[in-house]
Amino acid sequence: MKAAVLHGALNMKVEKWTEQAPGNNEVLLQVACCGICGTDQHIYHGHPGSAEVNPPIVLGHELSGVVVAVGEGVSTLQQGDRVSVDPNIYCGSCEYCRNGRAHLCDKLNAVGVTRDGGMAERCVVPAANCYKLPEHVSMIEGAMVEPLGCVLHGNKKLDLRANHHVLISGGGFIGQLFLQLVKAAGVTQITVSEPNLNKHELLRNLGAHNIVSPFDPNEAAGLQNSADIVIECVGRPESVELAIKAARKGAQILIFGVASPDAQACFSPFDVFSKELRIMGSFINPYTHEEAIALIAQNIIQIEPLISHRIQLDELPEFMASYPKLNVTKAIVVPS
């Protein structure tokens, strides 16, 4: 089969790759769609993903596909089933798995991170990680269930109330998903901090009441001590620093954006103390897949209007190399 294989930092090639047969409790998928995540870019540049990455490997942890073969012991799926894949595989025996926090598993494995993923024509995944898609949910939507599930996990950490002022820092794909969830919760004052003017119309259509640029000194100053909830979706030191400044007394701050491992933010511990801020992280998507599918199926969350780039598998190496220059909101790969 054909796959985009990562051989090391900045080194991806489309080549013939050995197709694996499904083992016990596994299925073989014909990949229909695979998303390109910001984490894939981190891995491409030599940083870890949700777990350590050991090339050569096929990336792609946001995927949907059609079951073409089932391994021994699989009774819940059959050939022809359309599925979305939750990529995360937990050991079930470490301290975190045993106390209800499996996403923090000490031995976490993941499709497209520690084992071959969806940037290929076919992919073997555990049957337990496959979720059947309703007929009216597209394969593109099915591939985007995984990032929506991650956003759901973060959103569940927040005590959202209709009278809150919510600031979303970053109006890209993740910020757009958060925006829709916050809007669906009945929040009537939502501000998005996003410098790219090309995204503003879509953000308004999705429910933003106010859009500001973090690079405009006056607009940034106007955010100070204003937000009950700040959702940071950028993953840069300056956006974390903005979150602390924008938070009012008693505010909640969710750090969702994935920063480089060596990034350092500078803020006043006194602000955290005196404003009694609650600062939280959010990591992957523990058991949120079914709910994410339901939100898409009910059209509570829109997906396809958010896709900015659609590419073929053969285009992927050049696309990954040029990614920072392409103004990507969300890109998907269609293998064939």
> Residues with catalytic annotation?
39, 42
Contact 201, 264 (CB under 8 A): no
How, if at all, do strands 88-89 and 309-312 pair? unpaired
Give the separation between CA 12 and CA 44, rounded to whole angstroms: 8
* DSSP, res 73: T
Torsion of CA 268, 178, 126, 336, to 10 degrees: -120
- Exposure on the CB side of residue 223, measured as CA atoms within 13 A: 29
Give the separation between CA 161 and CA 158, rounded to whole angstroms: 9
How, if at all, do strands 122-126 and 88-89 pair? unpaired
Give the separation between CA 22 and CA 28, rounded to whole angstroms: 6
Q: What are phi and psi of 212, to 5 degrees?
A: -130, 160
Cis peptide bond upstream of 56, omega within 30: yes
* DSSP, res 21: P
Where would I find the H helices in 131-216?
A: 139-143, 145-156, 173-184, 200-206
Give the separation between CA 289 and CA 277, rounded to whole angstroms: 30
Where would I find the H helices in 209-277?
A: 217-222, 237-246, 269-274
| Location of structure tokens 């350092």 | 264
Q: Is 166 helix (H, G, I), strand (E, B) or coil?
A: strand
Give the separation between CA 119 and CA 135, rounded to whole angstroms: 24
